[in-house]
Chain A
Amino acid sequence: MKDFILPNDRDLGTPAREGAPVTLTIDGFDVTVPEGTSVMRAAAEAGLQIPKLCATDSVEAFGSCRLCVVEIEGRRGTPASCTTPVAPGMIVRTQSAKVKKIRKGVMELYISDHPLDCLTCAANGDCELQDMAGVVGLRDVRYTPGQNHFEQRAATGANPQYIPKDDSNPYFSYDPAKCIVCSRCVRACEEVQGTFALTIEGRGFDSRVSAGGPKDDFLTSDCVSCGACVAACPTATLQEKSVIELGTPERSVITTCAYCGVGCSFKAELNGDELVRMTPYKHGKANRGHSCVKGRFAYGYASHSDRILNPLIRDKITDPWQEVSWEEAMRFAADRLRGLQDTYGKKSIGVITSSRCTNEETYLVQKLTRSVFGNNNTDTCARVCHSPTGYGLGQTFGTSAGTQDFDSVEHSDVVLVIGANPTDGHPVFASRLKKRLRAGAKLIVVDPRRIDLVKSAHVAAAHHLPLRPGTNVAVVSAMAHVIVTEGLMDEAFIRERCDWDEFTEYAAFISDPRHSPEATALLTGVPAEDLRAAARLFATGGNGAIYYGLGVTEHSQGSTTVMGIANLAMLTGNIGRKGVGVNPLRGQNNVQGSCDMGSFPHELPGYRHVKNADVRAIFETLWGTEIDPEPGLRIPNMLDAAVAGTFKGLYCQGEDILQSDPDTHHVQAGLAAMECVIVHDLFLNETANYAHVFLPGSTFLEKDGTFTNAERRINRVRKVMAPRNGYADWEVTQLLANAMGAGWHYTHPAQIMDEIAATTPSFANVSYDLLEERGSVQWPCNDASPDGTPLMHVDGFVRGKGRFIVTEYIATDERTGPRFPLLLTTGRILSQYNVGAQTRRTANVVWHDEDVLEIHPNDAELRGIEDGAWVKLASRAGDTSLRAKITDRVSPGVVYTTFHHPDTQANVITTDFSDWATNCPEYKVTAVQVGLSNGPTAWQREYAAQATQSRRIVPAAE
């Protein structure tokens, strides 16, 4: 049971402080803590738990319950230890007769207004009120029954103080009868999450916790269901419904969220192999104890009845599926793939590795192509999201990764967010960012939409530059123009760290008036004065950090924009220390890892081109097979080749390219033209409608491995239950490889990590033992940096001198015109994840059960569209229909939707245009027309019919 770690995450009462050491004496013990620490925390660090109710170390102390009183020599009265900072030489007594009496009195008061149904309460055994009653030795309650908040009926009729339970949130309930009004939840919502959904209404005996306004419940309030309040609540008032249903968990295992690229650490809490709840792990270095609704609550898909647990095969995609044994499925798949290679050549088959699976699994899938198929036809969904990041940052800095850790944002003074929507896409990072913004950092948002960050509770952007989709390069270049022509650059940094000749060429280029904000304003739609002000702020406001997302990469000039961003950071000297840097926000959990692991057709693990014989030799020696020195096909190229009849077989692990990739018609045509499509997934996803073999996958709860998040942090994923399908995904890949004659013998993913470390210099010192010891580590982790690398490019760029690259704006070929006068841009929302295969199978659908089209009131009026009306959305690629939502979050001329639901298939609209360097599709700009419609289009109906037909399963004969 080596994998099961018992976390030491005791509540120390108040948050940690940084400062000079201060020594004091508590109950006769000397304790040394940083200046500013509370007496309560100092005592806890010395192992002395002072009773407390309203304090918890995730939020600032409030000092309302008075249970934590202590005596301090030379001070009058009994100060609250949670709000009293330590002082040198202080002498504290935590258990004097006086404080013990006060505490008993406090507890007696609390208990007199609390139901005594402990034995049947969901928090029984996990309740701090219960614990404190025990600790202070409360034996009887002298108050006679009277006014209270918990009895439904009073002597004279209904109890006016009684508020019934609020069960509106699907994941947790609020039972006001049990509330002790400690306000921990309110502070958690403010300080940790930054949503400010909760308040304490009323005063004194009448004070109650309230979500939103008087008419709201939790669901209709601003609450985003992050669960921070639930974690902070000391009683059963805010309680996970899963605990109410299943009981309190007995054991916990540290693991990593399998949703977004933030990579939050969680405690999976279980009884036996039954998962009771997921709680964010305080020592997780990406999330520092916080979470969002997806990781915290949306894990129900793992036990959803739609999961396929037995392998399926069929001859033709028009046949129903046949349930077969693993052996038969592997034989069938291996024979078909080998047969295709015999008929159409070695290069006629390939793989798509998953950005959701572990590093170890991804590594094996690319090894399967390179070593068993004998070609380089491997790609990953990072192709369609962050491949321009790899190219752009590789060219300018020399590494394909973000430069900072998430903690870095605590030191930023100006944050530039471009084409990212962190409150929806990367919620825990957004909470950390908002905390910094509330502390005074400035924010610049570059986005066509008025995303939530632009204005939300206690946070407002200093500048929002609402650019026209597709003009990123022009905007970023105009900012650089302002910085260079106004002399705001950091010349010392540039001279020391960058190639000066390249800089002078770049400076001459960017100083040309055609890049000025005034010259580009008409094109970009961004007022020149705003842009100038934003550029000045970024250049002169202190530590400047850039965070960007797919709104940057998914364009025909995605790579150019990434280079432009790198230029901005170099110009202003914002690289190589805390609080600065260039930070791509990764979409899926392991996008970074899948890129690191050699998923791209031109790169072996560690971003080394296949053309390099010395790199190939490392793997050839170990694998005993020859590696093709030529790059293989990228996903769009595979589909093109399939349509052309030269690409015939695909093993697709944990991706749903039919829904997630652009230009659905083209993807359909490509898949339909293949003779062997193997889908390895949890569910019969959309791609599986075109598959001949379905291999059931395992969830992140059912296997060991590692994910690498957006900060290059390698986090452990731990198996908390046996795979329901029988095999972890790495075992499935190994079965397939062996059916094709590979002869692999891995018995644990740790061995795969050892192989990665042995072949890949940036992973050289990574091992499961190290991860066990450190919790996590950021690559590069090798002899040069044995502790890993939280900040990159500290003393110099990885490539040597930083390279300025000229970034000329080149308009995309995708243009609006009379037929398609609007621009569609796409994105996602908080409660759903990617194609929604997982989140649609959880209660998260209460927040988003269909994709809607956001349209500006002017554009809607022009077309006679009312809020909620069915509209048809059409581009030159295809059409679909969905409901309209009228909002001025989008500018006139721009419409927006998400792609979480296959019934809408937003990607039937997107085109096959792509980034010039990487073929990353141009999801973010499509010329469209919108008009009223009366329901699903003919295509949607056909699609639904085909999907139903394709999902028929004939069970195996017993």
Chain B
Amino acid sequence: MAALHEDETMGLLQRLNHASFSHGIHPAEHKEGTRDKAIRRLPFAPRLFVPLSQHIGAPAVPIVRVGQEVVRGEPIARADGFVSVPLHAPATGRIEAITLMPTATGNRAPAIVLHVYQADNQVVGFGNEVDLARLDRAALIEAIQQSGMVGLGGGAFPTHAKLRVPEGSVIDTLLVNGCECEPYLTTDHRVMLEQTHALLEGIRIVMRACGAGRAIIGIEDNKPDALEVVRQAIPSDSPIEARAVKTKYPQGAEKILLKTLLGREVPSGGHIFQVGASMVNVGTAAAIGQLIPRGEGLIERVITVAGPGIEKPGNYLVPLGTPTDFLLEQLGFNGSEAEVIMGGPMMGKSLPSLEVPVIKGTSGLVVMNEAFLNQPVRKSYPCIKCGECVNACPMHLNPKELGLLAAKREYALMAERFNLNDCFECGCCSFVCPSAIPLVQQFRIAKTYNREHAA
């Protein structure tokens, strides 16, 4: 214990000069319930719902028929174009249907329903060992696409599509995001601790695929153990480096971490490769490190299930397509009323249905109970121009002005004069607003309105 205390004091001193960005907020972390829980497997649900669109871009196209038997790991849908990825069977079983199923957005979307053979030993029956050394850049990118890899941090953008840059652009640095700044979530934390070698292997593969000469892993300083473990595992002559960054929300947003680590900014409306960098999440890198050498596809992921409504919070390795209600049954929820947030509580979505499955971009489920829901609703006041939101916005927008314009439905003006489209809905402004104005919600409405009226 004494040694630990010493560590913490040193940490405090060091923390003062950890890199960060300006603005942002410090929500309560709520990570203590799960950060020390090792990743565990859960049983297979009787039915898995595998949506065809689990990523940004064109939905995958099914290559199986209803009634067909599939083996765990077998491709069941192919990519439709470059910005798209294939899907693999998360379990051995039979295709029961290809039909519309609820999604987190509230709309129903096509999904492959897989009846799981519970008696099967569920060994991954697909994949060919790859001699990585023989693959060139294009072949690596192709291999990453074929694995079905997307941003596991929640972005769900096809990873390979971020690694191929247009002629003339060069990526000098690969950034690896180990911030996990959302409250409650601890999957990245556990992955860094438990899958360190896969993580480093994945980083090497991605560096080669995007041509980056160096990689920097950014880890928030509330995870000193992960930083230590990762640092220990990096060979001394490696171009990979792990750096502590300040614990502050939204440190783990791509644009923000880029600014923190390299001081560069993605131009408004542009892409990160335009400033010579690329970024993957640690979970994505670790999955790449595990799957690509074996030629396998992405069929399961680590999620944190936590929140006051859950009896056995922890970090679990679950097959993609596992429905939420199965997880709640396994992990215990006693109440009668809940809010189930897919993702973290700052940017995640409340689920409209418990049939919604875990998909590639699901970093966690945060389950709120009655006690949380029955807190008295904060009274909404007119904007008192306190400026808290302005001091919180990591994009240095003026949410106060945006909010006042939204109230007047001046949506076009919001975009033209106050950079509405640079808002990535991080929620900092709503979080701090003492008047409880639903700023982010207003901005979302404004953006949707502008998009619909653009044509």
Q: Do A and B bind each other?
A: no
